[in-house]
C-alpha cells in the first residue's frame, strides 16, 4: 500500500535429460525446453518486471556450429518481447526451410535457441541504470568450449568493492565493478585455471588437443571451482551458471537468504526461485519439489548426472521473511498458510484499537498481495464475533426471545472492497511539481459502504517509507468519513536497510527511522544521533567480522507502540478528519507465522552476514553527512 518495493530477481534453469527426438515424439515439438522456460519465467514475473533474459546451450555440436544462444530485453513487457523474438526467428527458419519441420537433427544444427540446457532470468533492478546491458544472463566468452560461462542470479553482495580489489590482485582487469560482473569473473578465473590444469594432465597422458576436450568435460570439478570462487562472498544469493560444453550449477548462499527449489524426473531437471512455478509448469505435487539447502550447489554434469555438493559451511538459517510476506507468489501452499497466519496473529491488536466494536467496523485490504493476510484477519475476526455472540446469548439466556436471538445471530463481519487501483495513472506521474496530486488519484474508493461512526480497518503487507500512505491512501480513505482509520501492517516496523536484494538502501527513507528521530527530539535526547555517528565512523576501517550495528541504539529507548504512534503522527496531517492508528506485526508473531524464514534483519538489525553490519553503519554515516549514495 504505502510504497512498492523492488525485489532482487528470479531464476529458472531447465535441463532436458532425453534426446530432443524424444520430446518431439511425446510432446509434438523439439522446442519443449523453450516452451517450458517461457512458462517458468511467466510464472515468476512477479519477481522482476524491469528486464528478462534467456540463454540456451546445445550439447555435442560439431566445431563451427553455434551452440550458445542468448537474448535479453528491457522492454515494457520483457518476457513477451524475448519469446516474440525467439518465435520470429524460429518461424523464419521454418518458412525458409520447410524441410526442417520434421527433422530434429536439422533443427538443432541450424535453428538457434533449441537445445538441451536453458537458463532464464527476470530482473528487478534495485539500483543502477535499467539498460539491457544490466539484464542477466551475463556471458563470458572464450574459444574453448569449457571456458564459456553464462551467469544469472538473484543476489546482492555486500562486499563488491573487496571482491573487485581481489580480482585486480589476481592481475585481471574487470570491465566494471557491478557485483554480477565481479562474481562472474571470479568464477571464470578459477574455471580457466581448472581447464588449464586438466589440459596439462590430458597432454601428459598423450592426448591430442581434440581428445583433451571430452577429458576436460568429464573431469572438470565444478564444486571445487565454486568453493574457491565463493570463499569470500558476503551476501544473499541464488546463482545459476551454464558452461559451454554442458555442465551447469545453481548455488545458494550459506544463510539461505535467497530461495531456490528443484525437481527431477526421468525427462528433466528444473530449478527455480519459487516452488509453485515448478509445480504448475511441470504438474508435480508440493512434496516432490525440493528446497536447495543453504551453502549447497546443485551440479548437473554434461552427461545429465546430478549431484548436491556443500560449497560453503551453512550458517544459521536466516531465509528472507519478505519472500513470505510480500514477494513470492501466494499460491505456494506454505506461503498461503503463513500469510493467513500473519493476518490472524495481528487481530488482537486490531480488536484493541477498535475497542472490540466489530459491529461498527469495516475490514478491507490494499494492495492485492495483502488479500491472503486479509483472509487470516477475517478468520480471527469471525472467532471474536462468535465469542461475542456466545457471551450475549449466555448473558440474556433467561429472557432471550426468538427475535432477539435472530438479532444476535444476524451480526456479521463487514468486509468491503474499499480501494481499487487505477494502474493507468502511474504512467503519467513524471515531474515532481505535479506528482503529489497525481499520486493521490492512483486509487479509487468505493463510496457508500462506510458510516461516520465506523472504524475502517485496512491491512497491508508492509509499510516502508509511508510516502504513498501519507500522500494518497489516507486522503482517499478519509473521503469516506470514517470515525477512525486503522492501517495494519502484516510485517513489523522496517527499521534497517536491506543489502541482500530488496531496494531499501537509505535509512532516512524509512518511516520508522524518521519516527525514532522525532521521538528523540521530543524527549530532548537528540544528542544520541551524533553519538551513533561517531561510533559508526570508528568502525570504518575495521574488519567486517568485528563491526557492531550501532544503529540499534537509536531505537533502544522506545517501545514498538511508541514508534507506531509516532509513525501515525508523521503520516497524518491536519486535513485528515478521521483518527489515524497504525498497527504493526510483532517480530515474535512474524516468527510464529513464518517459522522457516527467520531472516528479520530489516526489522531487528540482526544481519545474517558480517557485511550487513558494515552496510547499516555506512547507511547511517551517509544519512548523518547528507550523502545520498547507497551504502553498498
* Whether 497 and 466 share a structural domain: yes
* Whether 389 and 369 share a structural domain: yes
Evaluate whether 443 touches 472 at the Cβ level (below 8 Å): yes
Domain of 91 in residue numbering reads as 10-317
pLDDT digits (tens, 9 = 90+) for 603-623: 999 999 999 999 999 999 999
Confidence of residue 162 (pLDDT cuts 50, 70, 90): confident
* Whether 278 and 344 share a structural domain: no
pLDDT digits (tens, 9 = 90+) for 351-362: 999 999 999 999
Report strand pairing: 419-421 vs 443-445: antiparallel
Evaluate whether 331 touches 352 at the Cβ level (below 8 Å): no
Segment of 62-66, 93-97, 318-322, 446-450 carrying the highest mean pLDDT: 93-97
pLDDT digits (tens, 9 = 90+) for 485-539: 999 999 999 999 988 877 677 899 999 999 999 999 999 999 999 999 999 999 9
Q: In whole angstroms, what is the distance from residue 271 CA to residue 291 CA?
A: 9
pLDDT digits (tens, 9 = 90+) for 195-211: 999 999 999 999 988 88
Q: In whole angstroms, what is the distance from residue 471 CA to residue 494 CA?
A: 19
* Whether 410 and 544 share a structural domain: yes
Q: In whole angstroms, what is the distance from residue 116 CA to residue 132 CA?
A: 25
Q: In whole angstroms, what is the distance from residue 625 CA to residue 284 CA?
A: 53
pLDDT digits (tens, 9 = 90+) for 575-594: 899 999 999 999 999 999 99
Task: Give how far Cα 54 sits from Cα of 18, 43, 240, 264, 596, Å.
Answer: 21, 15, 12, 21, 31
pLDDT digits (tens, 9 = 90+) for 389-399: 999 999 998 89
* Whether 295 and 358 share a structural domain: no
**Residue 5 falls inside a structural domain:** no
pLDDT digits (tens, 9 = 90+) for 52-64: 999 999 999 998 8
Q: Which three cell numbers stand for residue 464?
A: 516502508
Whether the predicted pLDDT of 423 surpasses 80: no
**Residue 630 falls inside a structural domain:** no
Beta-bridge partner residues of 419: 445
pLDDT of residue 429: 39
Mean pLDDT across 244-268: 97
pLDDT of residue 432: 42
Mean pLDDT of all residues belonging to the chain: 90
**Residue 266 falls inside a structural domain:** yes
Q: In whole angstroms, what is the distance from residue 17 CA to residue 304 CA?
A: 6
**Cβ neighbours for 294, distance < 8 A, ≥ 6 positions apart:** 252, 253, 254, 255, 256, 314, 315, 317, 319
Evaluate whether 53 touches 121 at the Cβ level (below 8 Å): yes
Q: In whole angstroms, what is the distance from residue 341 CA to residue 338 CA?
A: 5
- List, as own/partner pairs, every contact residues 407-411 make where C-beta atoms lie below 8 angstroms and the sequence separation is at least 24, other chains included: 411/358, 411/359, 411/385
pLDDT of residue 390: 93
* Whether 235 and 337 share a structural domain: no
Q: What percent of the chain has pLDDT over 90?
A: 73
* Whether 229 and 365 share a structural domain: no
* Whether 235 and 354 share a structural domain: no
Residue 110 is part of a domain; what is its CATH number?
A: 3.60.20.10
Confidence of residue 430 (pLDDT cuts 50, 70, 90): very low
pTM for the structure as a whole: 0.90
* Whether 294 and 333 share a structural domain: no
Which has more confidence, 8 or 298?
Answer: 298
Q: Which of 273, 292, 317 is the last residue of a domain?
A: 317
Evaluate whether 444 touches 419 at the Cβ level (below 8 Å): yes
Confidence of residue 130 (pLDDT cuts 50, 70, 90): low
pLDDT of residue 426: 44
Whether the predicted pLDDT of 90 surpasses 70: yes
Of 621, 497, 501, residue with least CA distance to 157? 501
**Residue 2 falls inside a structural domain:** no
* Whether 238 and 352 share a structural domain: no
Q: What percent of the chain has pLDDT over 70?
A: 92
pLDDT of residue 110: 95
Q: Which of 290, 317, 344 is the last residue of a domain?
A: 317
Total count of domains within the chain:
2
* Whether 376 and 253 share a structural domain: no
pLDDT digits (tens, 9 = 90+) for 541-576: 999 999 999 999 999 999 999 999 999 999 998 789
pLDDT of residue 76: 87
Beta-bridge partner residues of 488: 459, 583
* Whether 184 and 60 share a structural domain: yes
Whether the predicted pLDDT of 632 surpasses 80: no
Residue 549 is part of a domain; what is its CATH number?
A: 3.40.50.2020
Report helix, strand or coil for 443: strand
pLDDT of residue 182: 84
Q: Which of 317, 339, 360 is the last residue of a domain?
A: 317
Confidence of residue 66 (pLDDT cuts 50, 70, 90): very high
Kindly write down the DSSP assignment for every residue of 164-205, as one continuous string. HHHHHHTT---S---HHHHHHHHHHHHHHHHHHHHHHHHHHT
Q: In whole angstroms, what is the distance from residue 179 CA to residue 161 CA?
A: 9
Q: In whole angstroms, what is the distance from residue 566 CA to residue 516 CA?
A: 8
Amino acid at each position: 500500500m504505502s510504497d512498492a518495493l523492488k525485489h532482487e530477481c528470479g531464476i529458472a534453469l531447465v535441463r532436458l535429460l532425453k534426446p530432443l527426438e524424444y520430446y518431439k515424439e511425446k510432446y509434438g515439438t523439439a522446442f519443449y525446453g523453450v516452451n517450458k522456460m517461457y512458462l517458468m519465467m511467466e510464472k515468476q514475473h512477479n519477481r522482476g518486471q524491469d528486464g528478462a533474459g534467456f540463454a540456451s546451450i546445445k550439447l555435442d555440436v560439431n566445431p563451427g556450429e553455434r551452440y550458445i544462444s542468448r537474448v535479453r530485453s528491457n522492454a515494457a513487457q520483457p518476457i513477451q518481447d524475448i519469446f516474440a523474438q525467439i518465435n520470429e526467428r524460429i518461424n523464419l527458419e521454418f518458412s525458409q526451410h520447410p524441410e526442417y519441420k520434421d527433422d530434429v537433427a536439422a533443427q538443432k544444427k541450424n535453428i538457434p535457441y533449441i537445445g538441451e540446457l536453458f537458463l532464464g532470468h527476470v530482473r528487478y533492478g534495485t539500483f543502477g541504470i535499467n539498460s539491457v546491458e544490466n539484464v542477466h544472463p551475463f556471458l563470458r566468452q572464450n574459444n574453448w568450449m569449457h571456458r564459456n560461462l553464462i551467469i544469472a542470479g538473484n543476489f546482492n553482495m555486500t562486499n563488491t568493492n573487496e571482491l573487485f580489489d581481489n580480482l585486480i590482485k589476481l592481475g585481471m582487469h574487470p570491465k566494471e565493478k557491478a557485483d554480477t560482473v565481479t562474481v562472474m569473473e571470479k568464477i571464470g578465473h578459477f574455471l580457466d585455471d581448472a581447464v588449464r590444469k586438466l589440459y596439462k594432465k590430458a597432454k601428459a597422458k598423450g592426448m591430442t588437443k581434440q581428445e583433451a576436450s571430452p577429458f576436460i568435460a568429464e573431469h572438470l570439478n565444478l564444486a571445487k571451482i565454486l568453493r574457491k570462487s565463493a570463499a569470500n562472498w558476503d551476501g544473499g544469493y541464488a546463482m545459476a551458471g551454464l558452461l559451454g560444453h554442458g555442465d551447469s550449477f545453481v548455488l545458494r548462499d550459506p544463510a539461505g537468504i535467497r530461495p531456490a527449489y528443484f525437481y527431477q524426473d526421468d525427462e528433466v531437471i528444473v530449478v527455480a526461485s519459487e516452488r509453485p512455478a515448478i509445480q504448475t509448469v511441470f504438474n508435480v505435487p508440493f512434496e516432490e519439489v525440493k528446497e536447495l539447502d543453504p551453502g549447497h550447489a546443485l551440479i548437473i554434469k554434461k552427461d545429465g548426472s546430478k549431484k548436491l555438493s556443500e560449497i560453503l559451511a551453512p550458517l544459521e538459517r536466516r531465509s528472507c521473511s519478505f519472500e513470505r510476506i510480500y514477494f513470492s507468489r501466494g499460491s505456494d501452499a506454505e506461503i498461503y498458510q503463513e500469510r493467513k497466519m500473519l493476518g490472524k496473529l495481528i487481530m488482537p491488536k486490531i480488536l484493541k484499537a477498535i475497542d472490540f466494536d466489530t459491529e461498527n467496523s469495516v475490514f478491507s485490504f490494499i494492495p492485492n498481495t495483502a488479500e491472503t493476510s486479509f483472509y487470516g484477519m477475517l478468520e480471527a475476526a469471525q472467532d471474536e464475533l462468535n465469542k461475542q455472540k456466545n457471551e450475549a446469548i449466555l448473558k440474556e439466556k433467561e429472557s432471550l426471545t426468538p427475535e432477539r436471538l435472530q438479532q444476535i445471530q444476524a451480526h456479521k463481519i463487514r468486509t468491503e472492497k474499499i480501494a481499487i487501483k487505477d494502474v493507468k495513472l502511474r504512467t503519467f506521474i513524471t515531474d515532481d511539481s505535479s506528482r503529489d496530486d497525481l499520486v493521490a488519484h492512483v486509487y479509487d474508493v468505493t463510496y457508500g459502504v462506510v458510516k461516520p461512526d465506523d472504524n475502517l480497518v485496512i491491512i497491508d503487507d508492509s509499510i516502508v517509507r509511508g510516502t504513498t500512505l501519507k500522500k494518497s491512501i489516507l486522503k482517499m480513505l478519509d473521503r469516506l468519513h470514517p470515525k477512525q482509520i486503522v492501517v495494519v501492517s502484516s510485517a513489523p516496523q522496517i527499521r534497517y536497510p536491506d543489502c541482500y536484494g530488496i531496494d531499501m538502501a537509505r535509512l532516512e527513507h524509512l518511516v520508522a527511522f524518521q519516527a525514532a528521530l522525532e521521538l528523540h527530539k521530543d524527549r530532548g535526547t537528540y544528542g544520541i544521533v551524533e553519538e551513533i555517528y561517531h561510533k559508526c565512523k570508528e568502525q570504518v576501517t575495521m574488519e567486517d567480522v568485528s563491526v557492531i550495528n550501532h544503529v540499534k541504539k537509536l531505537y533502544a529507548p522506545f517501545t514498538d507502540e511508541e514508534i507506531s504512534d509516532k509513525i501515525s503522527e508523521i503520516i497524518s496531517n491536519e486535513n485528515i478528519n478521521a483518527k489515524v492508528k497504525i498497527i504493526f506485526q510483532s517480530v515474535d508473531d512474524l516468527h510464529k507465522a513464518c517459522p522457516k524464514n527467520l531472516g528479520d534483519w530489516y526489522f531487528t538489525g540482526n544481519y545474517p552476514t558480517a557485511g550487513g553490519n558494515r552496510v547499516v553503519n555506512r547507511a547511517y554515516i551517509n544519512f548523518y553527512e547528507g550523502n545520498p549514495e547507497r551504502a553498498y
